[in-house]
Structure 1
Amino acid sequence: MTHSEPARAAACRTRSPAVRPFAAVAGTGITVYGCEQDEADLFREMAPRFGVRPTIVEAAVSEANAAVAAGNRCVSVSHKNRIPDRALRALSRAGVVYVSTRSAGCDHVDVEYANSVGITVGNVAYSPDSVADYTLMLMLMAVRGAKATIRRTDAHDYRLGDERGKELRDLTVGVVGAGRIGTAVMDRLRGFGCRVLAHDIRPTTPAERVPLDELLQQVDVVTLHTPLNADTHHLLDRRRIEGMKRGAYVVNTGRGPLLDTQALVSALESGGLGGAALDVLEGEEGIFYADRRNGSIENDLLLRLQGMPNVIISPHSAYHTDHALVDTVENSIVNCLDFESRKQHRT
């Protein structure tokens, strides 16, 4: 079974960007780790309005710098780096009792271990439109063969390609995970006139709801929007990928390990699948968000995927919009204030 986005709250707690705190806890200190310049500017801009004192740390949270949080019960962390257990222990020793991750997912934190050392973990809600828009962009690029077209024109070859593109209205699209983002994707798909199928454990979705294996057998495009957990790791495994329609496309803007990457590569190389558009990838850690132009990449599957004309790769950037960044910073602050005021919102 797969889980929609609200199911994350079983492990970590989420606030909606539409809700504001009832009251700020004056003078609350928040240590902000892994904070890049654009985030730092927003934290400093919003701090007076919320009555908080942010301590900005550019480096990701670690055992070595956890002591910087001493005196602050709440910290905010980035999703770009996994938080090791030893860092959680060090935060706990420094007096931290709440970690707000600036992401919708918590798979980079061992939430159960955090709880065992006295730390509650909360995630944030941000504009679902950021990822939904990007998903539709990737979907359109995939079915129109945009990568091959751009490659040819970059080389000044302006001939039409051998393969014609497909129109979404002629296709059946499957959405796996009908949380806020999956629902926003389905809202957009209705405008294209295509048939939409959904798979989710929620009793109602804005589309026809079918079992996962049945969905995969029927759709021309599948897009993944379910959180990553033990149940959804390799949700699209070799068996399910081989059971998809010949020539179908896979779009993933959720989490890399939702897909069995080796099985995906095999299906693409054999011609079983028509293409893929991936904003996330297994083994992306240490590669995405870094300039690797002059270094080697120790991920053979990534290199094989990037060499394919029918595969689009982007570096986990679907969420990266002005609006979503404001939501993320604001709701990370709100999470901490709610925790301090004991007005924690449980989904």
Structure 2
Amino acid sequence: MKITAFETRDDEKRAFKKLADSLNIEIVLINKPLSQHTIELAAGSQGVTVLGHSKVDEGILSKLKELDIHYLSTRTIGYNHIDLEAAKKLNIRISNACYEPHGVADYTVMLILMSLRKYKQALFRANVNDYSLKGLQGREMRDMTVGIIGTGKIGAKVIDNLSGFGCRILAYDTYRNGNILQKAEYVSLDELYQQSDIISLHVPLLDSTYQMISQDSIAKMKNGVILVNCARGELMNIADLIYAIEHEKIGALALDVFEKEEGIYHFDRRTDIIKNRDMAYIRQFPNVIMTQHIAFYTDRAVEEMVVCGVQSLHSFIKGEKASTELLY
């Protein structure tokens, strides 16, 4: 059995080798994304695995089928970079990854605390030997109402983490998670917007969630609200966020993701001209924290993503059901 892995990083190589040995299969590692220019490198493979920078459109999927490759996995939870309808039409089976929610949940709480305690401003001052206190007074979590939008694995773990701080926790989801009912109160989305001091997003990118944080929803929120997004950049309307920051409606913003981050995040672009004006402008605000899509990035999560990506292909090829199969 031969599998070709595209977009491989150095931090994944140990996990790939371990799987190749344990499953007695050949895994070819390619550091470039899957594209029309690299797809021939997968010739002779029964399956391929990618990360999020590979844009797997109908053309790529058709070429995979020509190469007699009928199985593809993405080592990411999200799968917006894959044309699932085309995959279904071409009868190419797709799987996504899963990993334990602890890393992203821990990171979310860290961003909340950094925003509450104005860490960015404090850090900038310390770098120029300014140790004054004015403007750095923070707030305590126990006095906050925190709204969690999306109570799947990650959202539920964030709630679990926050429950030890003594804050009031509100939750919204189209499907209620019975495991959190002792720690959080389910409310309508409008109630969550209106009552929360802090709002954190943990929903997938769907037509119904695209730019759900926009002028209309922000208008319903408290003045000085703190917004945190470790999910998908496209959940937020950036122009509306900038307006709300400039007019001090938003008290702090913490983003690990950003719309049109592709080709920027996870790359060294120090000497390049970056064509994302919103990203350049919004990061200069003293109350905005931005990190480069690393909430997921822990040793355990990286290994789990590789394991999912390879084992699901192994199951497909052997005629078994993959636990994370998308049913296409």
Distance (whole Å) between structure 2 residues aligned to residue 132 and residue 303 of structure 1: 26
Deviations along 1:289-340, whole A, 9 cap, x unmatched?
1222222222121112111000000000100000101111111111112212
- Structure 1 length as normaliser, TM-score? 0.89
Are residue 258 (structure 1) and residue 263 (structure 2) matched? no
Deviations along 1:129-166, one digit per CA (max 9) or x if unpaired, are: 11011111111101111101100001111111324111
Q: Does 1:279 align with 2:256?
A: yes
Which residue number in structure 1 is paired with residue 303 of structure 2? 326
Residue 303 (structure 1) aligns with: 280
The answer to which of 266-275 and 328-337 deviates more is: 328-337
Q: Cα distance, 1:84 vs. partner?
A: 3.6
Structure 1 pair 161–102 and aligned structure 2 pair: CA distance change class (3 A):
farther
1:231 deviates by 1.5
Q: Once the two structures are aligned, what percentage of the paired residues are identical? A: 37
Counterpart position of 2:219: 242
Structure 2: distance between partners of 1:131 and 1:81: 23
Equivalent residue pairs, number: 320
- Cα deviations by residue, 1:253-301 (Å, 9 ceiling, x for unpaired): 0000011111111111110010100000011112111222222222121
Q: Does the CA-based 8 Å contact 1:149-1:161 persist in structure 2?
A: no
Q: Is the 8 A contact 1:249 1:275 kept in 2?
A: yes
Q: What is the root-mean-square deviation in Å for CA atoms of aligned residues?
A: 1.4
Question: Is 1:211 matched up with 2:184?
Answer: no
Residue matched to 1:24: none
C-alpha deviation, 1:228, in angstroms: 0.6
Distance 2:268 2:35 in 1: 22
1:170 alignment counterpart: 143
Could you tell me which runs of 5 or more consecutive residues in structure 2 were left unpaired when the two chains were aligned: none
Residue 124 of structure 1: SS of its match in structure 2? coil
Q: Which moved more, 1:69-78 or 1:314-323?
A: 69-78
Distance 1:167 1:80 in 2: 39
Q: CA contact under 8 A between 1:81 and 1:285: conserved in structure 2? A: no
1:60 aligned residue: 33
SS at match of 1:275: strand
* C-alpha distance in 1 between matches for 2:177 and 2:295: 26
CA distance in 1, matches of 2:58, 2:122: 46
Amino acid at match of 1:161: K
TM-score scaled by length of structure 2: 0.94
Secondary structure class of the residue paired with 1:191: helix
C-alpha displacement at 1:88, in angstroms? 2.1
Secondary structure, counterpart of 1:184 in structure 2: helix
Report what 1:76 is aligned to. 49
Picking from 114, 126, 129, the partner of 1:153 is 126
- Distance 1:43-1:122 versus aligned 2 partners, 3 A rule: same
Say whether the 8 Å CA contact 2:145–2:168 is kept in structure 1.
Answer: yes
State the Cα deviation string for residues 53-101 of structure 1 (Å, max 9, x = none): 1011111001122122222221110123433432222222111211110
Structure 1 segments, 4+ long, off by >3 Å, are none
> In the alignment, which of 115, 118, 139 is matched to residue 88 of structure 2?
115
CA distance in 2, matches of 1:95, 1:285: 29
Letter of the 2:264 counterpart: I
Given that residues 66 and 94 in structure 1 are in contact (C-alpha distance below 8 angstroms), is that contact kept between their aligned partners in structure 2?
no
Correspondences of 1:127-146 after superposition (within 5 Å): 127-146=100-119
| Greater RCO, 1 or 2 (C-alpha within 8 Å, sep 6+) | 1
